[in-house]
């Protein structure tokens, strides 16, 4: 009986020791990823923003399946065990920071220590280097420089960036109203675009005429350039003439104003004179030639001389048979009728 008690006590102690040993062993889960780029042992494992463990190791996947890497996740005992369906995602701390694994818990059966998270429940972040790898070396270098300069420019300005991000919903709302108004004006904008197209077509149809106008304009400009000195002198003289005119009119503004006021009445009088004199001019017009002849004869009246024996006893010239005193003599025979008839 004593022996049985001793065996039982030994078994109890062994089982207790085994429980203690098992309880002190780390809880490790193997997660399969397509890529574990930049992930190394010691990186954090988080769940809900709380650190729950660390990466124990990163190795190539032993099988030939789609997975490229297997990552050993060592989870603290107080957060063990993980549940089937738990998702594991590789994330960077910031744009260029250290990588870590974020766990998204599930409610399935527990995963035993040494169990796995399948490839279907994992995802890898696309890194900036993977994105820039699609560019040529020069473009990739310029993008990396741009990112570094952007990081340096934003360093210490996190508060400003946060304020800007807080204002983004308001800005988005304002833009929503603007885009809504533009959407309501789509029909008018379409009509305006159609009108622009029509005008452009008309201008294209007048290409030849426009080219001719441009050539003529170029010719005019060339001519003006050739006569630049003359035009400059003309403008100078015009300026001087206007200055003299302005000086001459200075102090006579009232008189000029009065003249301008009297011009309409003077124009009316001239129009009345034109109407009344039209009849007289119609009568005089047929006899204009005769009147000119009479005036010429009156002008040459002083050229008459009296021939010998044509004066009376007192010495006065007799008004009979007058003879012109020109290079040749002849008789003066006046015409009694006009050369033209009455209208």
Closest alpha carbon to 90 in 65, 119, 131: 119
Top-confidence range, 19-33, 260-274, 299-313, 324-338: 260-274
Q: What is the pLDDT of residues 149-166, one digit of tens each?
A: 877 787 777 778 778 878
Q: Which two tokens stand for residue 242?
A: 């206007």
Q: Where are the domains of the chain?
A: 24-132
The residues that bridge with 10 in the sheet, in sequence order, are none
Mean pLDDT in residue range 159-177: 78
Q: What is the pLDDT of residues 247-265, one digit of tens each?
A: 888 888 888 888 888 889 9
Tell me if 106 sits within 8 A of 84, measured CB to CB. yes
Residue 111 has pLDDT above 80, yes or no: yes
Mean pLDDT in residue range 70-87: 96
* Predicted TM-score (pTM) of this structure: 0.37
Whole-angstrom Cα distance, residue 270 to residue 176?
A: 75
């Amino acid at each position: 009986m004593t022996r049985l008690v001793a065996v039982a006590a030994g078994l109890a102690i062994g089982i207790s020791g085994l429980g203690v040993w098992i309880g002190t062993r780390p809880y490790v889960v193997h997660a399969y990823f397509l890529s574990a780029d930049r992930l190394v042992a010691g990186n954090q494992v988080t769940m809900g923003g709380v650190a729950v463990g660390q990466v124990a190791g990163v190795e190539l996947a032993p099988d030939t399946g789609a997975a490229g890497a297997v990552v050993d996740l060592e989870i603290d005992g107080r957060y063990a065990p993980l549940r089937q369906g738990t998702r594991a995602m590789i994330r960077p701390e910031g744009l260029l920071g250290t990588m870590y694994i974020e766990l998204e818990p599930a409610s399935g059966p527990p995963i035993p220590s040494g169990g796995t998270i399948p490839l279907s429940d994992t995802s890898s972040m696309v890194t900036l280097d993977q994105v820039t790898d699609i560019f040529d070396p020069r473009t990739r270098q310029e993008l990396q420089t741009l990112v570094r300069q952007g990081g340096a420019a934003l360093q210490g300005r996190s508060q400003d960036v946060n304020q800007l991000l807080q204002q983004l919903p308001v800005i988005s709302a304002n833009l929503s109203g603007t885009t809504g108004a533009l959407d309501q004006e789509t029909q008018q904008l379409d009509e305006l675009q159609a009108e622009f197209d029509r005008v452009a077509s008309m201008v294209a149809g007048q290409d030849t005429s426009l080219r001719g106008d441009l050539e003529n304009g170029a010719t005019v400009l060339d001519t003006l350039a050739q006569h630049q000195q003359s035009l400059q002198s003309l403008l100078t003289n015009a300026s001087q003439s206007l200055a003299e005119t302005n000086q001459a009119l200075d102090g006579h503004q009232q008189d000029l104003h009065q003249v301008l006021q009297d011009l309409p009445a003077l124009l009316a009088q001239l129009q009345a004179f034109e109407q009344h004199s039209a009849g007289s001019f119609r009568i005089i017009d047929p006899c204009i030639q005769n009147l000119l002849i009479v005036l010429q004869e009156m002008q040459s009246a002083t050229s008459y001389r009296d021939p010998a024996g044509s004066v009376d006893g007192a010495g006065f010239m007799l008004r009979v048979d007058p003879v012109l005193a020109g290079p040749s003599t002849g008789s003066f025979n006046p015409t009694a009728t006009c050369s033209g008839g009455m209208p």
